[in-house]
Amino acid sequence: MSNKTKRIVILTELEFRKTIARLTSQIIEKVKNLENLVLIGIPTRGIDLAEVLEKELLCKTGLKIRKGIIDPTFYRDDQNRVGTRLIKATDIPTPIEKQEILLIDDVIYTGRTIRAAIDALYSWGRPQRVMLLVMVDRGHRELPIQPDFCGKKVPTSKDESISVRLNNIDNEEGVFLE
């Protein structure tokens, strides 16, 4: 990181935890039958966020919500622009017909990752409903995709980036503008 770029704290660890608690309460309120819910994380941070939410839901409801992973890489329409990273194995825990799917990602930007994830998901079947949870909505949408659950809206310029940091990977927790 150069001297010019300064790291700005968007959510401290405490605010991050409160945001997770609020998002979990909203999920419990909106999803009538939690046993029908499947949390699906989008690599990379969405997978870890799904784990954090699963633990929080377990604490609040006593229910162990199923979770899985969907890697939308091969469904992207902008692969050449985005570049490639190590592909995560898609792991969907159950037939998804009649299930309520909650796609989870750390940051929503153009909406292209989510569109690709929905395409990938539908190659596994047709769920009853697909919802979207993001920790940060940074604007600049190129597709008409909006999250059902959003931790925080943070207007950014295109050359800024947002990072969601989690204890189990980064040894710190919070959301930062870099």
The set of residues, in sequence order, having a beta carbon less than 8 Å from that of 32 and lying 6+ positions away, is none
pLDDT digits (tens, 9 = 90+) for 160-176: 999 999 998 999 999 99
Is this prediction's pTM over 0.85?
yes
- Domain range summary for the chain, segments of one domain joined by +: 14-160
pLDDT digits (tens, 9 = 90+) for 124-140: 999 999 999 999 999 99
Q: Is the pLDDT of residue 1 over 60?
A: no
**Mean residue pLDDT across the chain:** 92
Look at 34-43, 50-59, 93-102, 149-158 and tell me which has the smallest mean pLDDT: 93-102
3.40.1410.10, 3.30.565.10, 3.40.50.2020, 3.30.70.100: which CATH number matches 14-160? 3.40.50.2020
How far, in Å, CA of 67 to CA of 175, rounded? Answer: 23
Concatenate the DSSP letters of all residues of 106-165 into one string. Answer: EEESSSHHHHHHHHHHHTT---SEEEEEEEEE----SSS---SEEEEE----TT--EEEE
Average pLDDT over residues 142-147: 97
